[in-house]
Amino acid sequence: NTIACDGDGGSVRRASCFFPRFPTGMSLIPRAAPAASMAFAGRDPAVISLLKMLPLLLLLTFSSAAAPPAAASPSAVHNNNWAVLVCTSRFWFNYRHMANTLSLYRTVKRLGIPDERIILMLADDMACNPRNNYPAQVFNNENHQLNLYGDNVEVDYRGYEVTVENFLRVLTGRHESAVPRSKRLLSDEGSHILLYMTGHGGDEFLKFQDNEELQSHDLADAVKQMKEKHRFKELLIMVDTCQAATLFSQLQSPGVLAIGSSMKGENSYSHHLDSDIGVSVVDRFTFHTLAFFEKLNMYSNASLNSLFNSYDPSMLLSTAYYRMDLYKRALNEVMERYIYF
Amino acid sequence: MMPPSTARRLCFLSLLLLLLLLAAAASATADAAAAEEFTEELLLRPLPDRKALAHFHFRSSAPPASAAGRHHHLFPKAISQLVQKFHISELELSFTQGRWNYEQWGGYDPMSTNNAKPPGVELWAIFDLPLAEIDATWKNLTHTLSGLFCASINFLESSTAFSAPRWGFKLNEGNLRYGALPREAVCTENLTPWLKLLPCRDKAGIASLLYRPSVYKGYYHSQKLKLKSSQSLGIILDQTLTVVLQPNTVSGKQLHSTGGQLQPSWSMEHLFSKKLSGKCLVSKSSRVFVEIEKGIVDNVDKAGSDVSSNNDLFVLSTAPDRSLKELDNLEVQSSSLYEYDVNNYNSDKPLNVGITWKLPLIWSCTRAPYHASRFLMGSGNERGSIAMSFLSTGLDKQLVDSSNDCSIKAVVFQVVPWYVKVYYHSLEVFIDGNSKAISEVVDKIHVTPSEDKLLPGTMEMLLKFPCSMQLATLTLDFDKGFLHIDEYPPDANQGFDIPSALVSFPEFNSSRSYPEADPLFVSPLLENFKEDGVVKSYTEVLLVPLTTPDFSMPYNVITFTCTVLALYFGSLLNALRRRIGEEERGLKKAGILNKRGLIPLLIAKLRGQKVDPSESESTSPASLPRSKLLLKVVFVAVVAIVFHYLSNS
């Protein structure tokens, strides 16, 4: 599906006028050229050399054409923020994962992103769970000072709807036509997206609701599709599970920053047990992330660097890992862009 | 004496003025007739089992679209767009948690008939479309509602989840669709968008009382949205929230001097932790009612005092603005209502209605003629039975006739998912323990049998019970089906739900009328009570445990198969290619094995013949196969590299 190009070239979609959209997964370099050059190996050497240069020439053309999409980001101004917050665990003993996600939800709302730009996926209902002694209330601390559920929570994907398929559909934007707008990630090339996932995970996978997995290459493919479809300018992925860093091992798209709560071979631990509710109420990584954010308000000027520096491995009982090689800007500029407008 | 021309001019001007005035008046009345309205009401009622019922009722009405266009100032635009896009003529969507206790809270009054809903989500809609388009429209409607109300209503889209009853639920010509999700959770995220449809949201007016922890701590809460749309009347949207709460009073169990136990005295602050500080300013009327049931009124009459807000049995904390009495069919006063107009209260003088009991009192609410309940029979994972029982509550049909062929009609509507395969021919009826022929009891029956993975099984039955009957039981056998491994939910071992069945009694009318002399007193809540409605009750949801497979088997199969294949191919290749001992002998002959490291070893192997002849003893017989081997290895390597390059470029 090619995009109609307007003649003035002023539209940021101009880059796609140079080449049609390939189906995802295929690279831009045509495969036939090297074989053709091999087939002609026994003939005219000049032809051979020309044919050998052909794939190189094509590569150059396409890479120069491919450069504008990456260079389109300077022309695409950051103009909106989105958050996709996913809790993948079900059952009462995974209360802390729900509390993690709701804590991030509350923080993100408090710092300025409205409900229309937040996709919240909760795999189970804890607040009105029959085992909850405090109906309609979810706490992330045993002092019960803060009710994370509040009065105005809007959950977009609930219960059995939180599946790997729906998650990938949200990221890539490939929904059935009947799906309503409030359940779609309607980001564009000027969006900064925060993707937060929590649950049980392991080496290169994240478990969804006890019967499905999201693997690291699934996530990397989805992010690659998002990049090709210009669905984000910058993407910050935060994952709070065991061995979270392995989930990012396949990522290759530029403009992606990834933070994981633990390295390969390490577990992420819960913070404390609430003896009134009866289960652990928050995980260590999220607890410290929140402790950092609670000190901020909409006008603060903190940067991601300070967030990273606030993680103390002895308090987390794991090594927080961040992947910055795909990210071009200096980290001390980063924070405001994500959360504030 | 005026000249005739000026007189004519004056005449003309006055006529013009008159016409203008008339036009202005006409347009004023037309505007008044075509205005949107919003009213809010709250009804409080003490219940016999020491609980309190609070019923919130919000009505928004919009005039027909042709008159008002597309601009709304009170009516929620999301709803009007929904009605126009999907051509809805009637719709009801309810979110419920908890079960309505028909024995204690009543089954005969309009409250229990209209607001006692099955647990989970229930959606039904009547469309104004040709029959062929309704299923597709229903699918789009479920998706839209799921986005609007933050619930998984989209699971009702597939044909296995909804049914099209003809007369068992509501009489229609085939354009009604009904679906229910018994396991859907209901929490704050469903209330948030529901409140956003109100003009004042939860910031002002009666909706500001909704303290979420109180609402969700109740024994029963049900929020409902009911739409009616027509070309002549426009759209009428009724939003109701019915909550049964335990008032948190300090004096929970007081003992009265006579030895009996007093009912808890409660007020709005005990129920909601807040007082009502004013109405929603755009509402046409805002009222709070306290309903005193017939049982209490009868007790007050027996005690000898008149039924006012302050009598021997109870006293209301604030004097009501109006008191309404319900007159039943025999023009005898049964229940009474005390009305408070919220207009008279504001934040300086908030409204906190409460009731204080003076004497211990026990009363009961009128119940439906039969208490309908449903349960499962049988054990094991192969088959079972659904049983439905009707227990007489002693409500005589004294008003009709007491002749021998007195009978009470009951209509049963039940939808069973396809994996519970009901055998409708196995229907058996037992009246007072004796088995009866089906034709004696069942007057009319309409069954849509289930199809595997396509349709649920729908049953609509009209039964006639003799008036003297005490207990009737119906049983239906079923087989448990198998699901594909992908179709199991993540918590498959919990079981699968059969949605509630609806039992209605068409000969019993649950309407109540409160005659009021004042023509200006218009209350949508009381209008709803006055509407004809048959007595209905919902049965329990049944939980059927189905066989679940071992979900780890796909992983096990893959692991075993790959191990077997790896062992097979590995050993096969080994057997074909490896000559054990030959390599070592060859290298020993080349004299390299004991002297140098791995890389010189490999280089020497590849060179083959080009080893120092002083160290080799006999290379020529081994050289020819060795060079062939070398050529083969190089050829295979080149092919592999080229293939790798081609496939990965």
Q: What is the DSSP string of B303-339?
A: HT---SSB-SSEEESS--SEEEEEE-TTS-EEEEEEE
- Taking contacts as CB-CB distances below 8 angstroms, the residues of chain B near A28 are none
> Are B143 and B436 a contacting pair, CB within 8 Å?
no
**What whole-number percentage of chain A has pLDDT above 90?**
55
- Taking contacts as CB-CB distances below 8 angstroms, the residues of chain B near A125 are 185, 187
Q: State whether B284 and B428 are in the same domain.
A: no
Give pLDDT, residue B468.
87
Could you tell me the CATH number of the domain that includes residue B380?
A: 2.60.40.740
Average confidence (pLDDT) over A149-169? 94
Q: State whether B51 and B191 are in the same domain.
A: yes
CA-nearest residue of chain B to A32? B646
Q: State whether B55 and B197 are in the same domain.
A: yes
Q: Is the pLDDT of residue A28 over 70?
A: no
- Taking contacts as CB-CB distances below 8 angstroms, the residues of chain A near B490 are 90, 160, 209-212
**Of A98, A101, A149, A152, which to mutate for an interface test with B (greatest number of B Cβ within 10 Å)?**
A152
User: B453 in a domain, yes or no?
Assistant: yes
Q: Is the pLDDT of residue B3 over 80?
A: no
| ipTM of the shown complex | 0.80
Q: Is the pLDDT of residue B11 over 80?
A: no
Give pLDDT, residue A24.
39
Q: State whether B56 and B203 are in the same domain.
A: yes
The minimal CB distance from B147 to the residues A55, A149, A183 is found for A183
Q: State whether B114 and B226 are in the same domain.
A: yes
Q: Is B26 exposed, middle or buried (0-12, 13-18, 19+ CB in 10 A)?
A: exposed
Average confidence (pLDDT) over B160-179? 94
Q: State whether B285 and B414 are in the same domain.
A: no
Catalytic residue among A97, A242, A271, A288: A242
Residue for token digits 């009982």? A317
| B205-209, B327-331, B636-640: the lowest-pLDDT one | B327-331
Q: Nearest-CA distance from A127 to chain B in Å?
A: 7
CA-nearest residue of chain A to B550? A211
User: B328 in a domain, yes or no?
Assistant: no
Q: State whether B377 and B511 are in the same domain.
A: yes
Average confidence (pLDDT) over B192-198? 95
User: B243 in a domain, yes or no?
Assistant: yes
Report how many domains make up chain B.
2
The minimal CB distance from B187 to the residues A125, A152, A183 is found for A125
Q: Nearest-CA distance from B630 to chain A in Å?
A: 24
Question: Hey, are the CB atoms on A183 and B155 less than 8 Å from each other?
Answer: no
- Taking contacts as CB-CB distances below 8 angstroms, the residues of chain A near B144 are 178, 180
Catalytic residue among A78, A144, A175, A200: A200
| B239-253, B609-623, B634-648: the lowest-pLDDT one | B609-623
Reading the block at residue B620, the tokens are: 């020529």
Greater confidence (A25 vs B477) lies with B477
Asked if A5 is an active-site residue, the reply is no
Q: Is B543 helix (H, G, I), strand (E, B) or coil?
A: strand
Residue for token digits 């809903």? B117
Question: Hey, are the CB atoms on B490 and A161 less than 8 Å from each other?
Answer: no
- CA angle at residue B456 from B450 to B461, to 5 degrees? 80
What percent of the residues of chain A are helix, what percent strand, and what percent coil, each to the nearest 5?
40, 15, 45
- Most confident option among B64-78, B307-321, B559-573: B559-573
User: B598 in a domain, yes or no?
Assistant: no
Give pLDDT, residue B589.
79
pLDDT confidence of B396, banded at 50, 70, 90?
low
**What whole-number percentage of chain A has pLDDT above 70?**
74
Q: Nearest-CA distance from B599 to chain A in Å?
A: 32
Q: B238: domain range?
A: 37-119+182-250+273-291
Residue B453 has what DSSP assignment? Answer: T
- Taking contacts as CB-CB distances below 8 angstroms, the residues of chain A near B139 are 178
Q: Is the pLDDT of residue B498 over 90?
A: yes
**Of A93, A132, A146, A155, which to mutate for an interface test with B (greatest number of B Cβ within 10 Å)?**
A155
pLDDT confidence of A27, banded at 50, 70, 90?
very low
- Tell me the per-residue pLDDT of B580-604, one tens digit each, with 9 for 90 and over: 777 778 878 776 555 556 776 677 7
Q: State whether B287 and B392 are in the same domain.
A: no
User: B316 in a domain, yes or no?
Assistant: no
Q: State whether B394 and B498 are in the same domain.
A: yes
**How far from the centroid of its chain's Cα atoms is residue B132's Cα?**
26
Give pLDDT, residue B518.
82
Q: Nearest-CA distance from B81 to chain A in Å?
A: 13
pLDDT confidence of B609, banded at 50, 70, 90?
low
Interface of A with B (CB under 8 A): 27, 29, 31, 34-35, 38, 55, 90-91, 125, 127-129, 134-137, 149-156, 158-161, 178-183, 209-212
User: B167 in a domain, yes or no?
Assistant: no
Distance CA A209, CA A162 (A): 8
Order across the sheet with B407-416: list the strands.
Answer: B442-448, B457-466, B407-416, B502-509, B534-538
Q: Is the pLDDT of residue A6 over 80?
A: no
DSSP collapsed to 3 states, B547-584: CCCCCCHHHHHHHHHHHHHHHHHHHHHHHHHCCCCHHH
Asked if A192 is an active-site residue, the reply is no
Distance CA B309, CA B306 (A): 9
Question: Hey, are the CB atoms on B188 and A38 less than 8 Å from each other?
Answer: no
Query: Domains, chain A, ranges and CATH?
Result: 81-333 (3.40.50.1460)
Question: Hey, are the CB atoms on B147 and A155 less than 8 Å from each other?
Answer: no
Q: Is the pLDDT of residue B520 over 90?
A: no
Q: Which residues contact B499 (CB under 8 A, 6 or more apart)?
A: B118, B120, B180, B181, B182, B415, B541
Look over chain A and give the mean of its residue pLDDT values, rounded to a whole number.
80
Reading the block at residue B68, the tokens are: 């008002």
- Tell me the per-residue pLDDT of B224-234, one tens digit each, with 9 for 90 and over: 999 999 988 89
Question: Hey, are the CB atoms on A179 and B143 less than 8 Å from each other?
Answer: yes
| A141-145, A267-271, B25-29, B90-94: the lowest-pLDDT one | B25-29
CA-nearest residue of chain B to A161? B152
Q: Nearest-CA distance from A163 to chain B in Å?
A: 10
The minimal CB distance from B216 to the residues A135, A160, A183 is found for A135
User: B14 in a domain, yes or no?
Assistant: no
CA-nearest residue of chain B to A147? B213
CB atoms inside a 10 Å sphere around CB B586: 20
- Tell me the per-residue pLDDT of B286-296, one tens digit each, with 9 for 90 and over: 999 999 988 88
CA-nearest residue of chain B to A177? B140
- Taking contacts as CB-CB distances below 8 angstroms, the residues of chain A near B97 are 128
Average confidence (pLDDT) over B308-333? 82
User: B449 in a domain, yes or no?
Assistant: yes
pLDDT confidence of B67, banded at 50, 70, 90?
low
The minimal CB distance from B146 to the residues A128, A180, A212 is found for A180
| A23-32, B380-389, B413-422: the lowest-pLDDT one | A23-32
pLDDT confidence of B142, banded at 50, 70, 90?
very high
Give pLDDT, residue B175.
94
The minimal CB distance from A160 to the residues B144, B489, B646 is found for B489
Q: Nearest-CA distance from B540 to chain A in Å?
A: 18
Q: State whether B88 and B226 are in the same domain.
A: yes
Which stretches of B518-552 are DSSP H helices?
524-530
CB atoms inside a 10 Å sphere around CB B417: 19
The minimal CB distance from B188 to the residues A136, A156, A161 is found for A136
- Taking contacts as CB-CB distances below 8 angstroms, the residues of chain B near A128 are 97, 185-188, 216
